[in-house]
Amino acid sequence: MSARDLTRLITSVTGDVVITQKIFSEMSLYLESKNLSTIHNTIAVGNKEAQIQEITSIGLGGISEKSGVSLVQKNAAEITCGVEKTAAKTVTELNGIGKTEIAIACDVKHAAQLCREATTSTEGINLIKSAIVNLDVSVGNREVLQKAVSILKDVPGAFGKDGTFTRLIECGNTADKLGTARGAAYEIEKAYELMKQGEKMIGLGNKIPLTNNMEKIIQIFDIDIETATKLIECKNWDWNRVNPDRISKLQSQLPQLRDLASSKGKVFEIYSKNSIPKNLKEWLIKQEIKFTED
């Protein structure tokens, strides 16, 4: 079996260039240098851009063409073209690794689709819970997030195209989107906590217009959590690392949010995952804006 044939075999079984690279690395066999380009070219053949896009979208993390080439060359150095008698056995054993990762990625992708379609059947809920287990550990309390799926499944805004759970699942394994996932996770955790305390949940991510005395819409706000008594803004920020311009923008909006809540007979409150800087807390107190720190 040639190096080209071996590569084709492995890639056809795994269906994933990244998993193929993992198999190459795990095989720990020597490849003659003359076969380096053969291995690389074989992996690169076909719709590589689509492969990279797919890998990115399902949360395994994308690879740039440059890094992809580098990884292939590095791992290919450990492949030998003289492994015909062990190739089938190796693929069978290592495909278990590949299938596990692919299965997880597919579950996450499927769960994201269910969230977008707001499919909250028992089967759908269980799949979404299963996908949450496999999100990046930094996203949030995955045990609480799992429980929240069932508790919040009928709350408007929890699921759907722009749903909070949709953002969580779609972004929870992608390196450059983890901040979005953490924000969604915190909103879910606080909504779950409020419902457990007996608060009636009106919606997540509600769009509420602020109007003037002439009933003209001045601005439309996205409200992280709306209950029967509160409008809540959730911030999973490390305040000391946030760009000052973002904090200034937030400060310009908070009095409007306070007034919006008041016009609806509700209280506006900020929930912060991390400690709020002293100067900002003093400003919030002067503005009569309630805040809660975890």
51-102: pLDDT as tens digits? 444 333 333 333 333 333 333 333 333 333 333 333 334 444 444 444 455 5
For position 195, what pLDDT does the model report?
95
Is the Cα dihedral 48, 52, 53, 58 positive or negative? positive
The pairing of strands 290-293 and 217-227 is unpaired
Structure tokens at 76: 């290919």
CA distance 207 to 199: 20
Does the domain at 199-294 match CATH 3.40.1350.10? Answer given as yes
Residue with tokens 């209280």: 267
pTM greater than the 0.75 cutoff: no
Task: State the Cα–Cα distance between residues 220 and 210, nearest whole angstrom.
Answer: 6
Output phi, psi for 214, to 5 deg. Answer: -95, 10
**pLDDT at position 212:** 75
Residues 190-209 pLDDT 10s: 999 999 999 999 999 999 88
Are residues 87 and 11 in contact, defined by beta-carbon separation less than 8 angstroms? no
Averaged pLDDT of the chain: 75
Give the per-residue pLDDT at 22. Answer: 55
Say how many CA atoms lie within 13 Å of 117 toward its Cβ.
Answer: 12
Residue ranges of the chain that CATH labels 3.40.1350.10: 199-294
Q: What are phi and psi of 176, to 5 degrees?
A: -85, 5
Burial class (CB in 10 A: 0-12, 13-18, 19+), 220: exposed
| Per-residue pLDDT at 35 | 43
Low-confidence ranges of the chain (pLDDT < 70): 1-105
